[in-house]
Amino acid sequence: CGVFGMYSAPPNDLAWLTYMGLFALQHRGQEAAGMCVSDGEKFHVEKDLGLVTQVFDERRLDSVRLANARVSIGHVRYSTTGSNLRFNAQPLTTRTNKGILGLAHNGNFVNALEVRAEMLNEGALFATTNDSEVMLNLIARESRLDLVEATAAAMKRLKGGYACVLMSRTQLIGFRDPHGVRPLVIGQRGDDAWVLASEPCALYAVGARLIRDVQPGELVWFDRTGLHSLMVDARQPTPCSFEWIYFARSDSRLDGVDTHESRIRMGMQLAREKPVDADVVVPVPDSGIGAAIGYARESGIPFDYGLYKNPYAGRTFIAPTQEARELKVKMKLSPTSAVKGKRVVLIDDSIVRGTTSRQIVNLLREAGATEVHFRVSSPPITHPCFYGIDTAARKELVASTHSIEEIRDLINADTLAFISEQGLRQAIGGPGICSACFTGDYPAGTPLLNDVDKLA
Ligand code: 5GP
Ligand code: SF4
Ligand code: MG
């Protein structure tokens, strides 16, 4: 998912700016979009299933617009299979003793169901099984505390990997889990407007400049006097490695590490670790491009576009069923003449289920590639993510049930090799990474065994 928030002195068209910010974060989720806008009195909410441009046509955008808007938040959602439901769209809003609140979050609170059960015993009421509602309820019931303190108290209770934006009629709050698993950045627009976003690309989209990342375990808030910060609970930083491998936009810099450059380093590392004799390096667009540039640079084998990507196609994994995913591959990719009669090194960022990869290898063979050597810029994904990246349930992860040789056979490649976990760490650099989906070592905790199926 992607989150966005703005705090600004009026007058300002925050509905429009939030739309622009969400549009820049569209790659982080295409299932639903929503926003809240307040001018200190009125509090408007609109959300629905669909792309940002589909949910917010002119009329809908106009319906959340406020002439003297002061605070806004927004969300784009990508959900786990089966929960593609309208009521799951965010931001979630509730009336509390602190007034109306809106919350948008990226990630997962791994102990949300436990905390929810405890709160039910204490007499709390819930409308959904959504983990956002647990967060909002926790904040609401600390009625002795102000909003910032209540949010800090809730952060201490909920574990997991998350980045959130929260708004009241007059305040914007942002907070990031103690390990900084999910990203969140702060920007400034002119002198008197502040922005929070999952990635810097959304800051640039609204004419703001990057100030810094929200730190792991930090809570920030904005009011008439500007930016404030409270360190709630900082642990060893382990930002999600998948952001750099695949998820983040290549023009985003997260926790001091440039996404595009890190992908090139992954490709160079991969070429050193897993070399192969071949004629051309071909990326699976768009997610394999950075690594393919690196692989070509390091190996000296020329880079070429061997696959055309239809720019009107979305991210394939969003398709809900296997059949839909398979059809969508053809909608999205087709081979070019660059592979004819060539030994191809095919580069992609990840193998999740293996089904897309098999189709792509076969496309290249049909187009006349003599050999296809598959190289992957992430290690085999063997474990599910509990922190908000929907890499599928464990039983669907091909690498959790198959050896590399079995996967090679399944995807019909001549050779198959992955970057090592150590190589990936080196290529990213930075303060440390979460690599739980490759190792099973979860830095920010896991759900109780009973709750795993509900969450992953
Ligand atoms: P596969 O061959 O595993 O079906 O698909 C691998 C390709 O699809 C990679 O290019 C990867 O970027 C993308 N992909 C497929 N499914 C998912 C998914 O569930 N989550 C993520 N993050 N990427 C996926
Ligand atoms: Fe990212 Fe994988 Fe960790 Fe999930 S488990 S946060 S996808 S590195
Ligand atoms: Mg891809």
One digit per residue, the tens of pLDDT, for the chain of length 456 reads: 999 999 999 888 999 999 999 999 999 998 899 999 999 999 999 999 999 999 999 999 999 999 999 999 999 998 754 455 667 789 999 988 789 999 999 999 999 999 999 999 988 888 877 888 899 999 988 878 899 999 999 999 999 999 999 999 999 999 999 999 999 999 999 988 999 999 999 999 999 999 999 999 999 999 888 999 999 998 999 999 999 999 999 999 999 999 999 999 999 999 999 999 999 999 999 989 999 999 999 999 999 999 999 988 765 555 567 677 667 788 889 999 999 999 999 999 999 999 899 999 999 999 999 999 999 999 999 999 999 987 666 678 999 999 999 999 999 999 999 999 999 999 999 779 999 999 999 999 998 865 555 444
Residue of the CA atom closest to atom 6 of ligand 2:
240
Which atom of ligand 2 has the smallest separation from the CA of 182? 6
Both tokens of 20, joined, read 């622009």
Element (H, E) at 307: strand 307-309
d(CA 262, CA 241): 10
- The residue whose C-alpha atom lies closest to atom 9 belonging to ligand 1 is 350
Distance 349 CA to ligand 1 centre (A): 8
CB 414 within 8 A of CB 365: no
User: Cβ(181) to ligand 2 under 6 A?
Assistant: yes
Reported ipTM exceeds the 0.90 cut: yes
Which residue puts its alpha carbon closest to atom 4 of ligand 2?
A: 385
Instruction: Give the closest ligand to the alpha carbon of residue 27.
Output: 1
- For ligand 2, say whether the CB of 435 is within 6 Å of any of its atoms: yes
Best residue among 315, 350, 375, 397 to mutate for probing ligand 1's pocket (most ligand atoms within 8 Å of CB) is 350
* Site of tokens 């992609």: 348
- Closest by CA to 178, choosing from 205, 148, 214, 206, is 214
Q: Which neighbouring-strand residues pair with 167?
A: 102, 172
Q: Give me the amino acid identity at 92.
A: L
Asked if residues 73 and 8 have their Cβ atoms less than 8 Å apart, the reply is: no
The rounded Å distance from CA 315 to ligand 1 centre is: 9
- Angle, CA 157 vertex, CA 456 and CA 99 arms, to 5°: 100
Q: Are 39 and 67 in contact (CB under 8 A)?
A: yes
Please give the full DSSP string across 308-358, using - where no structure is assigned.
EE-TT---GGGSSSHHHHHHHHHHHEEE-GGGTT-EEEEEES--SSSHHHH
Domains of the chain: 2-237 (3.60.20.10), 259-455 (3.40.50.2020)
Whether 201 sits among the annotated catalytic residues: the reply is no
| Amino acid residing at 127 | A
